[in-house]
């Protein structure tokens, strides 16, 4: 496999791991993981999630990295270079998924910004958990405010993408991401020592297999894809900057480990607190934002911790949002030959347009549109539970069947023949079957 010399490459193996972990660890871990786990009844969901990560998540990370490295291209053109035919269409659906995700991601990023502002003003700690819930509703249901903060977060993301200052972001990640991990450890220690926290948690996470419903399966599958940034061609794009000297197997293991672990840590902060304060684990997308301020109220220097937490969360959200936006901008530059500036501006405008109904779904447009789902819920469901697993399904089939002979050669130096066979078996059979069965149970 020849490597084009003019293509940018990651400086070091660690640089690539940082970038991939930066994309993976974000609102998915800290905002989505706890509330999706809360809605799906705890331990059984957790088992299914970790089952999905280990059985198919790690292999799909490796598959996407290989796709990028072998083609030295991003999503659509990777399929074109390696096979052609109708395959590039898969890449277009992946770009569509990125677009939908970033349009609701910026709304939640906006909430984070709003909470950071009120933490800086010293007014984030509530008197009671009811007041915390009331405040969340007040923040997100005011249309002007919700849209303004969404726009603020989008502007921050756009500034990074347009200015091309990802390099700067990478430099910051090296100490801000570890800082976030350390802060989460401190918060976990505080929460687990609250009265009733551990009892509540244990009761909740003891697996009860009768709770595994079709909904649990599809939510766990979707969260696997969302938390590892899989199925959207993101990892393919990052993989295209890899050279032959990177060891991909251990890299996929690290990304999967750090991303799923940070989600678990967030859940181990939020859920015990929910039990200690007698709140509702089934709260939905507001869970993290309602619970965290109550936790800060129980800590010395709570105001300081609140500022640190929301600032670090904002940073983590920004690194993920940048990767989402960059994925779309990169596609328009590669396939449509747009300049970076043109692509960035037009895409930001399109993202802003779609983010408005998402932002309003918690206020003036909170009436359900389909079943019990709001516009936001529908976007979330379509992108996370359908488009991303579909993208993963296609990548698995592509690697396991369509271009396997080439992949096998590429894998020769990555792992021994036994693991090569395991990998092929996962891509060719297990991953497509798991995804198909989970979809089928939800039809």
Residue 238 Cβ, how far from ligand TRP at the closest point, in Å?
A: 10
Contact assessment for residue 236 and residue 61, using Cβ atoms and an 8 Å cutoff: no
Instruction: Tell me: does residue 320 bind ligand TRP (CB under 6 A).
Output: yes
Decide if residue 107 touches ligand TRP (CB under 6 A).
Answer: no
For residue 221, give the 3-state DSSP assignment: helix
Q: Which one among 229, 344, 361, 374 touches ligand TRP, defined by CB under 6 A?
A: 229
Asked whether position 27 contacts ligand TRP by CB under 6 A, the answer is yes
Within a 10 A sphere around the Cβ of 186, how many other Cβ atoms? 14
Which residue number, 22 or 432, has a Cβ lying nearer to ligand TRP? 22
Nearer Cβ to ligand TRP, position 26 or 42?
A: 26
Residue 288 is a binding residue for ligand TRP (CB under 6 A): no
Residue 229 vs 355, nearer CB to ligand TRP: 229
The stretch among 19-27, 60-68, 158-166, 374-382 that binds ligand TRP (CB under 6 A) is 19-27
Q: State yes or no: residue 24 binds ligand TRP (CB under 6 A).
A: yes
The footprint of ligand TRP on this chain (CB under 6 A) covers a number of residues equal to 15
262 binds ligand TRP (CB under 6 A): no
d(CA 225, CA 166): 24
Among the residue ranges 49-57, 111-119, 202-210, 229-237, the one whose residues contact ligand TRP (CB under 6 A): 229-237
Query: How far apart, in whole angstroms, are the C-alpha atoms of residue 12 and residue 169?
Result: 16
Minimum distance of ligand TRP from residue 400's CB (angstroms): 21
- Minimum CB distance to ligand TRP smaller for 258 or for 295: 258
| Ramachandran region, residue 223 (left: φ > 0; alpha: ψ -120 to 50; beta: rest) | alpha
> Which among 57-65, 171-179, 319-327, 406-414 is the span making contact with ligand TRP, rule CB under 6 A?
319-327
Cβ proximity to ligand TRP, 197 vs 343, nearer residue = 343
Closest CA relative to residue 17, chosen from 183, 331, 246: 246
Choose the binding region for ligand TRP from 85-93, 129-137, 278-286, 320-328 (rule: CB under 6 A).
Answer: 320-328
Q: Residue 72 phi/psi, 5° resolution?
A: 55, 35
Could you tell me the end-to-end alpha-carbon distance of the chain, in angstroms, rounded to an integer? 42
Contact 206, 282 (CB under 8 A): no
The set of residues, in sequence order, having a beta carbon less than 8 Å from that of 281 and lying 6+ positions away, is 38, 39, 42, 204, 271, 274, 275, 287
* Cα–Cα distance measured from residue 306 to residue 230, given in angstroms and rounded to the nearest whole number: 31
| Residue from the set 234, 274, 295, 311 that interacts with ligand TRP by CB under 6 A | 234
Question: What angle is formed at CA 161 by the lines to CA 236 and CA 34, rounded to 5 degrees?
Answer: 65
Q: Of the two residues 147 and 324, which places its CB atom closer to ligand TRP in the complex?
A: 324
Distance of CA 380 to the CA centre of its chain: 12
Contact call for residue 177 and ligand TRP (CB under 6 A): no
Shorter beta-carbon distance to ligand TRP: residue 232 or 348: 232
Instruction: Provide, rounded to whole angstroms, the least separation between the CB of residue 304 and ligand TRP.
Output: 25
291 touches 270 (CB < 8 A): yes
Distant-in-sequence, close-in-space partners of 438: CB < 8 Å, separation ≥ 6: 214, 217, 218, 221, 389
Helices 75-82 and 302-336, axial angle in degrees (round to 10)? 40
Segment contacting ligand TRP by CB under 6 A, of 147-155, 162-170, 176-184, 228-236: 228-236
List the one residue from 20, 21, 28, 238 that touches ligand TRP (CB under 6 A): 28
* Binding of residue 227 to ligand TRP (CB under 6 A): yes
Q: What are phi and psi of 28, to 5 degrees?
A: -55, -50
Among 26, 34, 68, 330, binds ligand TRP (CB under 6 A): 26
Q: Which residues bind ligand TRP (CB under 6 A)?
A: 23-24, 26-29, 101, 226-227, 229, 232, 234, 320, 323-324
């Amino acid at each position: 496999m020849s490597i084009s010399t003019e293509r940018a490459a990651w400086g070091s193996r660690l640089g690539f791991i940082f970038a991939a972990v930066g994309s993976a660890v974000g609102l998915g871990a800290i905002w989505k993981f706890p509330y999706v786990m809360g809605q799906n009844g705890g331990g059984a969901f957790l088992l299914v999630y970790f089952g999905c990560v280990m059985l198919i998540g790690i292999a799909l990370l490796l598959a996407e990295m290989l796709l990028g490295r072998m083609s030295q291209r991003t999503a659509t053109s990777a399929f074109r270079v390696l096979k052609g035919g109708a395959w590039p269409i898969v890449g277009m659906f992946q770009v569509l998924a990125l677009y939908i995700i970033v349009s609701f991601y910026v709304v939640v990023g906006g909430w984070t910004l709003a909470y950071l502002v009120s933490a800086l003003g010293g007014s984030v700690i509530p008197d009671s958990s009811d007041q915390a819930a009331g405040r969340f509703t007040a923040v997100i249901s005011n249309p002007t405010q919700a849209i303004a903060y969404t726009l603020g977060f989008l502007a921050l993301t756009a500034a990074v993408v347009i200015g091309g200052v990802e390099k700067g972001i990478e430099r910051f990640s090296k100490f801000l991401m570890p800082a976030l991990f350390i802060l989460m450890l401190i918060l976990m220690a505080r929460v687990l020592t609250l009265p009733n926290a551990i009892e509540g948690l244990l009761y909740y996470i003891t697996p009860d297999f009768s709770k595994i419903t079709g909904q649990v399966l599809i939510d766990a599958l979707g969260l696997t894809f969302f938390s590892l940034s899989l199925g959207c061609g993101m990892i393919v794009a990052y993989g295209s900057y890899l050279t032959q000297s990177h060891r991909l197997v251990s890299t996929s293991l690290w990304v999967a480990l750090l991303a799923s672990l940070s989600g678990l840590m967030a859940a181990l902060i939020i859920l015990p607190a929910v039990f200690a304060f007698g709140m509702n684990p089934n709260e939905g997308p507001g869970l993290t934002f309602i619970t965290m301020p109550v936790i800060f109220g129980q800590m010395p220097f709570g105001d300081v911790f609140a500022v640190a937490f929301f600032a670090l969360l904002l940073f983590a959200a920004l690194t993920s949002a940048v990767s989402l936006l960059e994925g779309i901008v990169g596609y328009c530059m590669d396939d449509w030959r747009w300049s970076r500036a043109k692509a960035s501006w037009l895409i930001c405008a399109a993202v802003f347009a779609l983010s408005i109904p998402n932002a309003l779904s918690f206020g003036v447009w909170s009436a359900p549109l389909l079943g019990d789902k709001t516009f936001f819920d529908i976007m979330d469901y379509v992108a996370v539970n359908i488009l991303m697993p579909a993208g993963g399904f296609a990548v698995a089939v592509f690697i396991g069947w369509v271009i396997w002979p080439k992949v096998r050669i590429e894998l020769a130096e990555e792992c021994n023949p036994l693991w090569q066979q395991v990998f092929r078996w996962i891509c060719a059979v297990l991953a497509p079957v798991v995804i198909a069965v989970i979809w089928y149970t939800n039809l």
